Amino acid sequence: MKKRVVCAVVVALFSVGAVFGQQGSAGTKDAQFEQVVRRLFDEYSAALLRGDPWAWISLWDQDAVQLVPNSLMTEGKDTISVTTENILRAIRYDQFDIQLTAAFSDGRYGYAYGSYRFQYTNGAVVQRFGKFLTVFKREPNGTWKIVADCTNLNT
């Protein structure tokens, strides 16, 4: 049920932002939220570059959903954590850059979208470029956590 609510929030926030731009009552462009998102994405990238799955997973909500290319949906922070630990054992990121295009928030939920690029070494050097849509949830203590993350690669 929570997953359906998250999907509905994504659709609603994106629709309001797309239709109303900066004037929407929900999903309003918010400079303060954008700064929070930039900081979270800096932490996200830095943790992956350090190979630190625990710092990376600390950015996620307990009920989070991850949607990555060519893979099944990963549900729940614990499952996402195990998957990420396994990935970071197998590869070493040399570069992980996130370019934020926009961030919108209604105070309880927010979303951000943009592009990313990364490079990792797994016997050979691999570079990838893509785009993302990430949904954030404001926790009771006021911090923002990732509740849904969808990425796909550019061709």
Judge contact between 134 and 148, C-beta under 8 A.
Answer: yes
pLDDT per position as a tens digit, 119-141: 998 888 999 999 999 999 999 99
Domains defined along the chain, listed by start: 2-153 (3.10.450.50)
pLDDT per position as a tens digit, 90-115: 999 999 999 999 999 999 999 999 99
